[in-house]
Amino acid sequence: MSPNMMLPQSLSTRTTAGSEVETSSKNRFSQQPKSHISAWHCLVVSSCHKQREIIGQKAFGAGWITLGCENASDALAQLCRNPVKLVIMDVQGEAATCSSIAKLAEHIMWTGGMLLVTIGDAAQADAAQVQESQKTEAWARQLGVWSYLPGINDHSDLSLVCSQALEVTEKLHRPFSG
């Protein structure tokens, strides 16, 4: 099992050599996972541990095997090691046009075979931040992301997106029976 694999237990985090390792301690998910766990991996990319945990819990609850990464270089390494079919990038607190985040998103879209969901910053306080959020959404849509969420204040939207992404992935990769 990958050291960054999120499990259905609470996660204690320790950092070694700049990369995060998540380990299980006790049951903490309030939401029960689907009756089956797919063989598909969901990569959660966020520089904020709390956001990674929330997003990972929602993806796991929808049936995904979740992997957490705190930066673009760790995410690229996970993409090489695992059969990732869904990538959820939290761009809150980061400029979407930040070169490493932008390059990761472009790599995902150009590689194909994966759905990309981006999450912006819904908690906007002033006009400058609203304008920045609109730029982030425009960037994501121009890139062709599968889904853009303005934020994760309403966790039911994220759960729904994760469930729908799993359904789409299973349909796309279902063996042809003709």
Has residue 144 been placed in a domain? yes
For position 58, which CATH number holds? 3.40.50.2300
- Which pLDDT does position 75 carry in this prediction? 95
Has residue 120 been placed in a domain? yes
- Which pLDDT does position 135 carry in this prediction? 82
- Which pLDDT does position 127 carry in this prediction? 67
Has residue 178 been placed in a domain? no
DSSP 143: H
- Token digits of residue 117: 């969901």
Q: How many domains does one find in the chain?
A: 1
Has residue 177 been placed in a domain? no
| Whether the model pTM is above 0.85 | no
Q: Which domain holds residue 47?
A: 5-172
Has residue 152 been placed in a domain? yes
- Which pLDDT does position 1 carry in this prediction? 45
| Residue 158 to residue 160: CA distance in whole angstroms | 5
Under DSSP, is residue 18 helix (H, G, I), strand (E, B) or coil? Answer: coil
Has residue 22 been placed in a domain? yes
Has residue 27 been placed in a domain? yes
Walk along the chain (178 residues) in steps of 10 and give the mean pLDDT of each run. 42 35 33 56 94 94 95 94 94 67 90 92 64 81 90 76 94 76
